[in-house]
């Protein structure tokens, strides 16, 4: 689910070619997630890394994250249900 979330956010990335022919990229839904690279590929790789770091900080601090499609990482995971084993004998 986390990989799908990252992929969906990356599909919303916006890239610009800069005056020096390098690239910048950002994801509007994730304030502060920005990256640069000499090539578009390098910029994309750096943007993925920036997004992953941003997500780690958000999760660690319990900050609200953008809902992407049907993926809402803000929902708490249900507690695991313990199975009771019946002993026979």
Q: Which residue has the higher pLDDT, 78 or 28?
A: 28
Cα separation of 57 and 49, whole Å? 13
* pTM as predicted: 0.79
Select from 11, 24, 21 the least CA-distant residue to 71. 11
pLDDT exceeds 70 at position 41: yes
Check: CB of residue 27 under 8 Å from CB of residue 10.
Answer: yes
Q: What is the DSSP string of the chain?
A: -HHHHHHHHHTT-EEEE-TTS-EEEE-TTSTT-EEEESSHHHHHHHHHHHHHHHHHHHHHHT-----BTTB-TTSPPPPPPPPPPPP--
pLDDT exceeds 90 at position 82: no
Q: Which domains does the chain have, with CATH numbers?
A: 2-61 (3.30.160.250)
């Amino acid at each position: 689910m986390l990989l799908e979330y990252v992929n969906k956010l990356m599909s919303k990335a916006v890239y610009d070619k800069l005056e020096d022919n390098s690239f910048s990229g950002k994801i509007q839904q994730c304030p502060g997630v920005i990256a640069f690279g000499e090539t578009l590929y390098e910029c994309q790789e750096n943007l993925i890394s920036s997004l992953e770091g941003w997500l780690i900080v958000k999760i660690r601090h319990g900050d609200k994250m953008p809902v992407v499609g049907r993926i809402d990482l803000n929902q708490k995971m249900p507690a695991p249900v313990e199975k009771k084993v019946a002993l026979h004998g």
